[in-house]
Homo-oligomer: A and B are copies of this chain.
């Protein structure tokens, strides 16, 4: 038979209420009785039942994690594994479980709240025009996105994408580059658009050339980065530097550049975005804009918990600073 709070109470010769107080670190317990109870807990091998606690407190102590269907390549991306580490780490600290859901087609987020299985939702890789989020907001369900979407009232944690891109491209300009290309992901995600806008802003401020010939789309995989860069290099006058808006594409790009017989950074400078682990191991190492991915994960959880516990008000929008990491793939234009 399973031990209950009753057994501990008897063993310690106190009431159930007192045991409960000890369990929940209530201040109004004598140090003496606390020790007595703790001893009884140890001896009996008692663990409080999560379900009973959850029923009485009307809290699920649980966050639903919604990830995009892995059919999209997205989930294999190092970004997701890293932010996941942040999620699990912080969730444990905050005392919340993480429930895993795959965001299949036509998935109705709200239903998860109805039977109180989750206190809040953490949504990863949501499409920018997802309508489900609006319902969450309207119903006042606590939720948090990792990444901005079009809906203005949405809660999210993101990186300062525009600023990061601006900084990276400014750095290239300061190195003397005049013809700077852009290679990045689909505008289906806001962060891609913002990075592009940051890039564009620098070029405009410096009256540098921009346009279709300098721009190429890819999908955040080494393969696609390779292909996109190949196309970019077919141009009659190729750029002397390219800002690649994510590291996987950048790493794929490197291969294409080398294959073409061009040197990095002597002939072409390359800057990525993300600072995934791999970026330190390429040849040459990749200059990139670091997003604090792990911190975005912990921050998202921590803010969501505050939302759940009523300590913050919606809308909750947070952008974490990026940092330019200068490595070997970028250099001056002679």
Contact = CB atoms under 8 A, between A and B. Distances in A.
Contacts of A69: 85
Contact of A76 (B65, B76, B100): B76
Interface residues of A, number: 34
A26 interface: no
Contacts of A65: 100
A65 B100 CA distance: 9
Given A100-B100, A102-B84, A117-B97, A60 B70 contact: no
Contacts of A78: 76
A49 B115 CA distance: 5
Nearest to A63: B100
A273 B169 CA distance: 43
Contacts of A52: 55
A51 B55 contact: yes
A51 B47 contact: no
A82 interface: yes
A193 interface: no
B50 A116 contact: yes
Contacts of A75: 81, 84
A99 interface: yes
Interface string A62-74: 0001000111000
Given A97-B99, A100-B99, A116 B49 contact: yes
A54 B115 CA distance: 12
B70 A81 contact: yes
Interface in A77-106: 77-78, 81-82, 84-85, 88-89, 97-102
Contacts of A54: 51
B99 A99 contact: yes
A103 to B, nearest CB: 10
Contacts of A100: 65, 88, 98-100
A183 to B, nearest CB: 20
A176 interface: no
A42 interface: no
Interface in A37-57: 47-52, 54-55
Contacts of A81: 70, 75-76
A78 B75 CA distance: 9
Given A76-B77, A76-B78, A84-B70, A47 B99 contact: no
A131 interface: no
Nearest to A81: B70
25 contacts: A49-B55, A49-B115, A49-B116, A50-B60, A50-B115, A51-B54, A51-B60, A51-B116, A52-B55, A55-B55, A65-B100, A69-B85, A70-B82, A70-B84, A70-B85, A75-B81, A76-B76, A76-B77, A85-B102, A88-B100, A88-B102, A89-B102, A97-B117, A99-B100, A222-B222
Across chains A and B, which 4 residue pairs bring their CB atoms closest together, nearest first?
A: A70-B81, A47-B114, A51-B55, A47-B115
Given A76-B76, A98-B101, 6 more contacts: A47-B114, A49-B115, A49-B116, A70-B81, A88-B102, A97-B99
